[in-house]
Structure 1
Amino acid sequence: MIINRMAKAMKQRDWSLVIIELALVFAGVFIALQFDNWNTHRRNQAALTEMLQRVSAELDLNVEVIDQMRERIDRGAGSRDIAQQALSTCDDGPDARAAINQTISFLTGDFSPSLSNETLPQLNRRDPYLDLLSSEFRWALAVYSNQVQEEQRQLQFNAGLRWDQHVMKHPSVSADLTGALGGLYISPEVSVSSLCNDASFIRQFYVTSVFLDSTLLRLQRFSDRMEEFRIVLDAEIANRS
């Protein structure tokens, strides 16, 4: 309709009407573009808020995973202490031997948790979303993204080293395939007093055990970093509500 009016005005050389019709066309295009930009911005804002909530959910999951790993490691602390005391005093008593057997079996568990990190890489790849974030949060996001990747890499690396040096590989350790003895145990013909003088066994036992302490320490430090990031994340989500 506007085009027909413009054509008619041009035939009649009514330039004022032509200018008015052109202005209406440009105004309509401008309004349409502005509305499209506003609609895109609104969709991005909603999608970003949903993604930040997913990041928060992954933080909750990582906290739960770390807490469970702490509990697992703590459950074996008692027998580990008794076993270490037995090896330091060369105690050949049945309780000492049982604690060593229990500890060796316990140390074969999986103590390298898998941290959840699905949403952060997605967020970091979406520039339209990053542009909507505060500068403070973008900085915290970059720092935490590097931290969680490095933490997972280091946990996996440490787990590999632990298995390479694991005490279960020592020739004095036997495996109970029937389950009657509860997994791994010191061969019956080997005394604790001989083990405490076996440098290779002592080294492997303590190296394997120390990796659990190292894992626990790393997880505790990473928990502090997660809480620091959570404070900034919660503030960013609150500012968007």
Structure 2
Amino acid sequence: MLLRRVAQHVKTQNWFAVGLDFVIVAAGVLLALQVSNWSEAQSNKKGATNTLVRLKNEVSFNTIALEERIASIGESRSTRDRAILALDRCDDSPEAISAVTKTIHVMSGDILPSFVDNSLRELARNDQYLELLTDAFRAELNIYDSRLADERSQLKINYELMWDDHVLRNPSVSVVAPEGDVSRALIALHRPMAELCEDPVFGRQLIMTEGWHQAATSRMTRFKKQNEAFLLEIDAELERLN
């Protein structure tokens, strides 16, 4: 209809009306673009906010996972101490042997927390979300990403080393799985305590692994505190977006 009106105005050489029609068309196009841009901006803001909320939940989950691993290591401390003392005294009592086998089982177990980072990856893939975040928060986001990757890598590498040193490459130790059930696997010693306590390699491995567990506890405790600080940063960024 508008085109027919423009054509009619051109035909009658009513240039004022033609100009007015073009102004109306341009204004309509500009308004449509503004509405489209506003809608896209609102959609991106909502997406960024929702992703930050999920990120906050993931960081909280990772913090709890760290707390559980730290507590688990702490709970086995007395058993580890008894095992090292038993080797030092060449104690061959059933309690001492049990402490040693339990300690090997604990020390060679997986202490890597079940970290999650789905929202972190989602933020990294969406530039339109990152553009809505402050430079300071993006820097904190990169730091958290780097720390998470480092903790995951270090704990995984050291766990694998502990398993190899204490079980796979240790001729004095084997894993016994009752009826093939790995979830109920137990550690078995092939040498009496009188021989094990005289083996400098066996005792040194336990002491070194005990030291590593304490170092891992310190690392996870430090990362937990960093996570708690990052949660505050997320809250501040969410408040700014809203």
Q: Same fold (TM over 0.5)?
A: yes
How many angstroms apart in 2 are the aligned matches of 1:150 and 1:141? 14
Question: What displacement does 1:167 show?
Answer: 4.9
Seen in structure 2, the aligned counterparts of structure 1 residues 33 and 235 have a Cα distance that, compared at 3 Å, is: same
Q: Does 1:183 align with 2:186?
A: yes
How many angstroms apart in 1 are the aligned matches of 2:107 and 2:157? 17
Match of 1:114 in 2: 114
How many angstroms apart in 2 are the aligned matches of 1:5 and 1:174? 92
Question: What displacement does 1:232 show?
Answer: 0.8
Question: Secondary structure of 1:113's match?
Answer: coil
Which amino acid in the other structure matches residue 184 of structure 1?
I
How many angstroms apart in 2 are the aligned matches of 1:219 and 1:54? 22
String of CA shifts for 1:123-177, please: whole Å, max 9, x gaps: 0121111111122211111211121122212222222222222256422335445
Q: Does 1:223 align with 2:232?
A: no
How many angstroms apart in 2 are the aligned matches of 1:88 and 1:65? 34
Match of 1:13 in 2: 13
CA contact (8 A) 1:87 1:196 kept: yes
Gaps of 5+ in 2: 180-184
Seen in structure 2, the aligned counterparts of structure 1 residues 4 and 178 have a Cα distance that, compared at 3 Å, is: closer
Q: Does 1:90 align with 2:90?
A: yes
Seen in structure 2, the aligned counterparts of structure 1 residues 178 and 148 have a Cα distance that, compared at 3 Å, is: closer
Question: What displacement does 1:115 show?
Answer: 1.0
Which amino acid in the other structure matches residue 161 of structure 1?
L
Moved more, 204-213 or 229-238: 204-213
Query: What is the TM-score when the length of structure 2 is the normalising length?
Result: 0.89
How many angstroms apart in 1 are the aligned matches of 2:218 and 2:127? 35
String of CA shifts for 1:79-106, please: whole Å, max 9, x gaps: 1011111222333333322221221233
Match of 2:33 in 1: 33
Question: Following superposition of structure 1 onto structure 2, how do residues 121-140 of structure 1 map, counting pairs within 5 Å?
Answer: 121-140=121-140
CA contact (8 A) 1:97 1:192 kept: yes
Root-mean-square deviation (Å)? 2.1
Moved more, 231-240 or 212-221: 212-221
Seen in structure 2, the aligned counterparts of structure 1 residues 82 and 26 have a Cα distance that, compared at 3 Å, is: same
Gaps of 5+ in 1: none
Question: Following superposition of structure 1 onto structure 2, how do residues 24-173 of structure 1 map, counting pairs within 5 Å?
Answer: 24-167=24-167, 169-173=169-173
Query: What is the TM-score when the length of structure 1 is the normalising length?
Result: 0.90
Question: What displacement does 1:40 show?
Answer: 0.5
Seen in structure 2, the aligned counterparts of structure 1 residues 145 and 106 have a Cα distance that, compared at 3 Å, is: closer
String of CA shifts for 1:16-75, please: whole Å, max 9, x gaps: 111111011000000000000000001111111100000001011111211221222222
Q: Percent identity?
A: 33
Question: Secondary structure of 1:185's match?
Answer: strand
Match of 1:198 in 2: 199
Name segments (4+ residues, structure 1) moved above 4 Å. Answer: 174-179
